[in-house]
């Protein structure tokens, strides 16, 4: 279990730091026209369900809450994860605790329940429709 925990913590830490780095580098000058790495959009020319999340996080960080909601509501979920997770990992490692790992397992278990999974999938699909609607109009 220790190896799995260390792998998860390393992955999450790197992902959060990379996300914050991407945010800082990509949107420091012009958040409206930053670079995009969306492979789905590059291939299909349609936005994916997460398109606009970086701009949304940037807008939340700058207090533009309505614009953040317009860009992509997922920004409200991604920002707290990117800010809290690295701190939580450091605290767990310093205190030799496994609270993040236990939380991760509880979330993973909850997501395996079909009713909750169906609702979350439905919300992501609705978000995707919203992204396509904004793109087309």
For the chain, the average pLDDT equals: 88
Query: Dihedral (C-alpha) 19, 78, 127, 30: value to the nearest 10 degrees?
Result: -50
Coil, strand or helix at 109: helix
pLDDT by residue (tens digit) across 80-130?
A: 999 999 999 999 999 999 999 999 999 999 999 999 999 999 999 999 999
* CB within 8 Å of 16: residues ≥ 6 apart: 81, 82, 83, 85, 86
Question: Are 59 and 65 contacting, i.e. CB atoms less than 8 angstroms apart?
Answer: yes
Of the pLDDT bands very low, low, confident and very high (cuts 50, 70, 90), residue 77 is very high
Q: Which residues, other chains included, contact 22 with Cβ-Cβ below 8 Å and sequence gap of 6+?
A: 54
Rounded average pLDDT over 18-26: 85
Q: In which band, very low, low, confident or very high, does the pLDDT at 39 lie, cut at 50, 70 and 90?
A: confident
Q: Which residue has the tokens 């920002």?
A: 79
């Amino acid at each position: 279990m220790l190896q799995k925990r260390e792998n998860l913590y390393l992955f999450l830490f790197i992902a959060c730091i990379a996300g914050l780095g991407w945010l800082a580098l990509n949107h420091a000058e012009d958040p409206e026209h930053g670079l995009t790495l969306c492979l789905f959009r590059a291939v299909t020319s349609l936005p994916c369900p997460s398109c606009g999340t970086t701009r949304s996080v940037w807008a939340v960080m700058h207090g533009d809450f309505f614009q953040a909601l317009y860009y992509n509501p997922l920004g409200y979920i991604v920002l707290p994860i990117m800010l809290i997770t690295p701190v939580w990992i450091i605290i767990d490692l310093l205190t030799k605790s496994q609270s993040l790992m236990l939380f991760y397992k509880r979330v993973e278990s909850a997501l395996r329940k079909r009713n909750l999974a169906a609702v979350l999938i439905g919300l992501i699909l609705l978000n995707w429709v919203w992204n396509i609607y904004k793109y087309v109009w």
